[in-house]
């Protein structure tokens, strides 16, 4: 009986996860269509939010997605720059967890 209960997921929690995944997918798609200049501007806005100490899981998700977008774009231009951004992203994620 306990095993069955442990394997159950609340419907509310499942809905929240699905909504969060959808938001992340939408934001990721949004970042992909931005020009590099617009991506930099968007990252500056995100940095302003971070500086204002607006802590939220949404903010951390956006930061992670933005770093991934920068990495994927930079891989096309320079493998070294992309590796640097990936390492920076890993350091940020390590500090957040």
Query: How many angstroms separate the Cα of 62 from the Cα of each of 53, 75, 77, 90, 91?
Result: 15, 20, 23, 15, 16
Provide CB contacts within 8 A for 46, sequence distance 6+: 59, 62, 63, 66
Is the residue at 46 inside a domain? yes
Is the residue at 6 inside a domain? no
With contact defined as beta carbons under 8 Å apart, do 37 and 6 qualify? no
Over pLDDT 90: what percentage of the chain?
Answer: 18
Is the residue at 1 inside a domain? no
**Sign of the four-CA dihedral 74, 31, 59, 47:** positive
Please state the separation of Cα 38 from the chain's center in Å: 17
Q: How far apart are CA 33 and CA 30, in angstroms?
A: 6
Is the residue at 20 inside a domain? yes
Q: What is the pLDDT of residue 2?
A: 54
Is the residue at 67 inside a domain? yes
Quote the pTM value. Answer: 0.67
Is the residue at 5 inside a domain? no
Q: Would the pLDDT of 3 be above 60?
A: no
Tally of domains within the chain: 1
Is the residue at 31 inside a domain? yes
Q: What is the pLDDT of residue 78?
A: 82
Is the residue at 21 inside a domain? yes
Tell me which residue range forms the domain holding 67.
11-96
């Amino acid at each position: 009986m306990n095993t069955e209960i442990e394997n159950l997921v609340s419907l509310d929690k499942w809905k929240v996860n699905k909504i969060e995944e959808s938001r992340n997918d939408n934001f990721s798609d949004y970042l992909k269509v931005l020009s590099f200049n617009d991506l930099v501007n968007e990252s500056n806005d995100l940095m302003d939010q971070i500086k204002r100490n607006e802590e939220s899981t949404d903010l951390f998700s956006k930061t992670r997605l933005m770093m991934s977008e920068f990495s994927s774009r930079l891989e096309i231009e320079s493998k070294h720059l992309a590796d640097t951004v990936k390492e920076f992203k890993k350091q940020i994620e390590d500090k957040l967890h």
